[in-house]
Amino acid sequence: MSHTQNIDTQASETDHRSDQEQNQQQQVPFWRVMLSVMQASYGVQNKKNKERDFQSGSIKGFIAAALIFTVIFVMTLVTIVTLVLP
């Protein structure tokens, strides 16, 4: 194998690894998305997590987590109000 072919092979392996690393960075677990939504709703989201969330690339998980959080939050408020009021 010549030196040029060896360099080309190493470059393609590096590109392949960087693609895998980007895919791993984009896949944020749902529990972490839910945690980010809860933190953001209370205004305690830090800058590092916010940047990670924006780089994740998928808004579908954040929309689903926000809808789930909103439903649970409203149901909790309704339950508290019905328990407190006679």
Measured at the CA of 84, the angle between CA 79 and CA 86, to 5 degrees, comes to 105
Helix (H, G, I), strand (E, B) or coil at 29: coil
pTM listed for this prediction: 0.60
Nearest-angstrom CA–CA distance, 44 and 47: 10
In the chain, how many domains are there? 1
Domain that holds residue 57: 3-84
Amino acid at 12: S
Split at pLDDT 50, 70, 90, the class of 70 is very high
Mean pLDDT over each residue of the chain, to the nearest integer:
77
Interval 13-54: pLDDT, tens:
555 555 444 545 567 788 888 888 888 888 888 888 888 887
